Amino acid sequence: MNVKLNDNVLVITGKYAGKQGKVIATSPKSGKVTVEGINVQKKAQKARKANEVSKIVEKEGAIDVSNVMVVCPKCDKAIRVKHEVVDGKKVRVCGKCGAVLDKAYAGKGKAVEAKAEAPKKRTRKRAAKAEKPADAE
């Protein structure tokens, strides 16, 4: 499954074809993904306590992973995901522009540089004491 959590995807078939959304849940064993704002289902929820009110809850349902395509953040197009080895790590790459899709890997290089610098020491600011005039004593 080439779709991961927090990926931006485009629905290519069905009632919601042409709509984009963010993946909020994946289920690799069943081959399904849940996309924000797509396949919204209504469910009646009963009041469980005396002070609660019964209501109708809207919730996103799962759709098959074959019905969505990953959208590249750089070229903003629906793409087929390629896999390449970069620095000994297998990463997902855009099939059109070659941009790295794995956010954890793309940001890793910057995180290592930030850790190399020593962190700044935090000092506590204290309130200045009011000085007494010399002639008051």
Q: What is the pLDDT of residues 91-133, one digit of tens each?
A: 999 888 888 888 766 654 333 444 456 667 777 777 777 676 6
Q: How far is residue 62's CA from residue 74's CA, in Å, rounded to a whole number?
A: 27
Fold of 1-45+56-71: SH3 type barrels. (2.30.30)
pLDDT at 119: 67
Domain locations along the chain:
1-45+56-71, 80-116
Which stretch of DSSP H or E encloses residue 48? none
Res. 36: pLDDT tops 90: yes
Closest CA to 68 of 78, 59, 56, 58: 78
Closest CA to 64 of 6, 5, 8, 12: 12
At residue 87 the predicted structure's pLDDT band, cuts being 50, 70 and 90, is: confident
